[in-house]
Structure 1
Amino acid sequence: MALAVALVLLLGLFLLNVPIAFGLIISSVAYVLFNDGYSSEILVQRMIGGLESVPLLAIIFFITAGILMNYTGITSRMLRFAQMITKHLPGSLAQVNVVLSTLMGGLSGSNIADAAMQSKILVPEMEKRGYSRAFSTALTAGTSLITPIIPPGIALILYGFIGNVSIGSMFLAGVIPGAILCISFMIYVHFYAKKHKIETEKQEKTTMKQFLIVSKDAFLAILLPLIIIGGIRFGIFSATEAGAIAVFYALFLGLIVYREMKLSQLIKAIIETVHTAASILIIIAAGSAFAWVLTLERVPQRMTMFMTEYVSTPMAFLLVVLVFLLIIGMFIEGNVSIIILTPLFMPMLHQFGIDPVHFGIFFIVCISIGTLTPPLGTVMYTTCSITNTNVEKFVVASLPFLILLVLVALLLAFIPGLTMWMPNTF
């Protein structure tokens, strides 16, 4: 009875567009009130206990590093580097969009931040080159989904923390899938540009001097993901310590090497970090309380029994999960989905013999797809609001990218080696 009240209340609050964190807290409080065996103090303890974890500091550090990167001049250097290496490809500016998302994903860890940044920088320029606004916006939104699985993606850290999975392994597992997504988008852009005859003219060759200058500027930024992954895998530092090093590295580049960060910008970056981190941490605290409610009612165990009774093979299980997550992703933000659903899926993985690292990348890709779809796609609304694009036109323009993303998700599901090769090798 108490669980039914909590779930109905959560659904009602969700339909009323109440922020998900407060919806989870109110639903958990309702469960306690309708259950005489527990007091509200236990709920508060669960919320606070959900935040008392050293690995969670990695999220704060990487958020800080990603925000600092936007004030250090790294974005402009990455943009020049991406322009140089895609200069001779058909649809070169659209190719820049894809490559820049991949490169910046290794620095910011936030797909919404990357989508917002590129919507401001690239979409107006793409319109001038002949691309439609809807296509430019849909491409920007679609390529931003590479970010969550490129280390140090916040989603990777969240999943690793909640599912008790090695964050270092998650970082390594995301590299090849991220590259596959990047190449897939670039291939599509190639044929799109050829078909619509956009940016197909020959460009003058890049001189060695130009190549070295642009590469030198971008090299220090590109080095950061390599330092993070290498340091974690060789046991030099933990994922949390890697986050602190990333913050120090961003400050070092901005204040000493590039010298483009001012004190006022540093203060602005710190305030932005506090706002972003607080919004994530309150969701984690609320999710911890609601997860406690679900555990008390043995919901994960019941779901596991149901799935094992009606689903016979690991592949069938992954297909069911894919469809389920595509629907869930339309209504619930990605990080919230990770917080709520990870504890539910973990017992099932053991029953079906699926590696949690392999499932984690598949899981994150699937829930990310929902951020491009109505009615509540966060990346969709972020990019459309910035570029002033009609949502209906966006939906039509994004269909090829949605199909491509689903195909990549299926590829990751059926070929575990794509995610597991690097963790197993290194």
Structure 2
Amino acid sequence: MELFITLLIILVSLVLNIPIALSLIAGTAYYFFFSTVPNTILVQRMVEGAVSFPLLAILFFITTGNLMNYTGITSRLLEFAQLLTRHMTGGLAKVNVLLSTLMGGLSGSNIADAAMQSKILVPTMERKGYDKGFATALTAATSLITPILPPGIALILFGFIGNVSVGALFIAGIVPGLMLALFILIFAHYSSKYRNFETSNKQPAARPKEIASGFKHVILALLLPIIIIGGLRIGVFGPSEAGAIAVLYALFLGLIIYRETKLPQLVQALLDSAQTTAVIVLIISGASAFSWILINEQVPQQLTEFVVHYINSTFMFFAVAAVFLLIAGMIVEGNVLIMILTPLFMPILPTYDIDPVHFGIFFIFTVSVGTITPPIGTILFTTSSITGVHIEKLIKEILPFYFILFLAIIIIAYIPEISLWLPNLLSG
């Protein structure tokens, strides 16, 4: 009974638009106060959930993403992407995709990526004749490349909670992320051609000398994900140390190489990082206590028995999991679902001989689709509020993208080599 009321409190709080962290804490507090479990366990679980060395990676990579906007990295990547696509049909639409791909491995946050591009690219696309609704929908869709590219925050959370190698998850997300970028690039090309976006008055293709010159300005920025992946692969450092190196590298570029970072900007970047991290840590604390409740009530064990009894194949398991995660992602924010559901799914995977790294990429991407899906849709409402596009129009424009996203989910689920080929190759 206590578990049922706990779930009810959390769901009602979410419906009332109470912050997710407070909803989780309120629900778990009821359980501990009105059950026979000692109240002190609540505080212990919340503190233990937040005080963890691997979670420092989240703080560092969030800080890196914020610093990028003040160090000249973002502007240089944008200019290089525009240089490569200036002669193409729908050039700015392709810049949108390329920038998300280039930034994804650096910012680590799809919300940060979507917000930044909504402010920078959507107004520019509108001036070039693009429909604002299409530009906003494209920005929302391309932001989904970010969660599965290293060093995505979701990858760190899944690895931490599921006891899965974060380094392996980082490497496993590269091929699926590039595949999704390719799918959206193709769609952006034909959509632009069909709707006459940038189909005339195109500039000449960049000459090799121009490309070389542009690459020279971004090579230091592009080295960052290579340093991170390379260091993790050869065992020089772990994810948390990689995050610290990323922060130092971004500061090095901004203060010494590009010299674009001023003290007020640095302070603002650090304040933004502290605020974002504080919210995430509160959510982790609440989710940690809630996970303890689920384990105490033997929910994972009962769920495993139920699933094994009614689902007798890996194919059906992925189908049911995909539908469940898509529906859950429509209601609850993606990172919260990762923290709550990972302990439930992990005991089930050995039954179907599913690699946890493969499942992690599938899980994270499927849940992330919910961020552009009503009724919660954090990315949906973030981009809509920044660009000023009515939510009804944005949903209409984003509908075609669902076909691409669902196709990507199917491929990632049923072709494990998409996720596992590169980790297996690098591990020998």
**TM range, normalised to the smaller chain?**
over 0.9
- Within 2, Cα distance between the matches of 1:324 and 1:83? 39
Give the deviation of 1:25 after TM superposition: 1.0
Equivalent pairs counted in the alignment come to: 425
Offset, 1:14? 1.8
Give the corresponding residue for 1:335: 335
Partner of 1:39, secondary structure, is coil
Q: Secondary structure at the match of 1:330?
A: helix
1:105 aligned residue: 104
Distance 2:44 2:387 in 1: 43
Q: Which residue in 2 is equivalent to 1:47?
A: 46
Whether 1:73 and 2:72 are equivalent positions in the alignment is: yes
RMSD: 0.9
Deviation at 1:236, TM superposition (A): 1.0
1:264 maps to which residue? 264
Cα distance in 1 for partners of 2:32, 2:305 equals: 26
CA distance in 2, matches of 1:77, 1:143: 19
Aligned pairs for 1:167-178 (under 5 A) are 167-178=166-177
Give the Cα separation in 1 of the matches to 2:408 and 2:8.
35
> Counterparts of 1:11-410 in structure 2 under 5 Å?
11-36=11-36, 38-201=37-200, 202-410=202-410
Supply the distance in 2 between the matched residues of 1:373 and 1:58 (Cα, whole angstroms).
Answer: 28
Q: Determine helix, strand or coil for the equivalent of 1:47.
A: helix
Contact kept? 2:84, 2:206, Cα under 8 Å = no
- State the Cα distance separating 1:267 from its structure 2 match: 0.7
Shift of 1:354: 0.5
Q: Which runs of 5+ in 2 are unaligned?
A: none
Displacement of 1:127 in angstroms is 1.2
CA drift of 1:118 comes to: 0.5
For 2:2, the equivalent position in structure 1 comes to 2
Q: Structure 1 CA distance, aligned partners of 2:191 and 2:403?
A: 15
Q: CA deviation at 1:423?
A: 0.8
Q: Percent identity?
A: 56
Distance 2:51 2:116 in 1: 32
Asked if the contact 2:64/2:250 (under 8 Å) is kept, the reply is: yes
Per-residue CA deviations over 1:125-160 (Å, capped at 9, x if unaligned) read 111222111100000000001000110000000000
Whole-angstrom distance in 2 between the partners of 1:417 and 1:208: 35
Shift of 1:209: 3.0
Deviation sequence 1:255-296 (CA, Å, 0-9, x none): 000000001111111111110100100000110000000000
Gaps of 5+ in 1: none
Cα offsets for 1:26-47 (capped at 9, x unmatched)? 11111112212x2221110010
State the distance in 1 between where 2:404 and 2:208 align. Answer: 36
Q: Deviations over 1:53-106 (max 9, x none)?
A: 111111111111111111101111000111112223210000000000010001
Alpha-carbon distance in 1 for matches of 2:293, 2:97: 42
Q: CA deviation at 1:19?
A: 1.1
Aligned partners of 1:46 and 1:387: how far apart in 2? 40
SS at match of 1:317: helix
Counterpart residue identity of residue 310, structure 1: Y
Give, as a single letter, the amino acid of the residue that structure 1 aligns with 2:372: L
User: Which AA in structure 1 matches 2:97?
Assistant: V
State the alpha-carbon separation in 2 of the partners of residues 208 and 422 from structure 1.
Answer: 30
Q: Is the 8 A contact 2:105 2:151 kept in 1?
A: yes
Letter of the aligned partner of 1:62 in structure 2?
F
Task: Give the C-alpha shift of residue 205 in structure 1.
Answer: 2.9
Secondary structure class of the residue paired with 1:260:
coil
Q: TM-score, normalised by structure 2?
A: 0.98
Tell me, in whole angstroms, the C-alpha distance in 1 between the residues paired with 2:120 and 2:400: 23
**Rounded Cα–Cα distance in structure 2 between residues aligned with 1:188 and 1:8:** 41
Secondary structure at the aligned position of 1:206 is classed as coil
Deviation at 1:117, TM superposition (A): 0.7
Which amino acid in 1 is paired with 2:365? V
Q: What is the deviation of 1:230?
A: 0.5
- Partner Cα distance (2:403, 2:133) in 1: 17
Cα drift, residue 52 of structure 1? 2.2
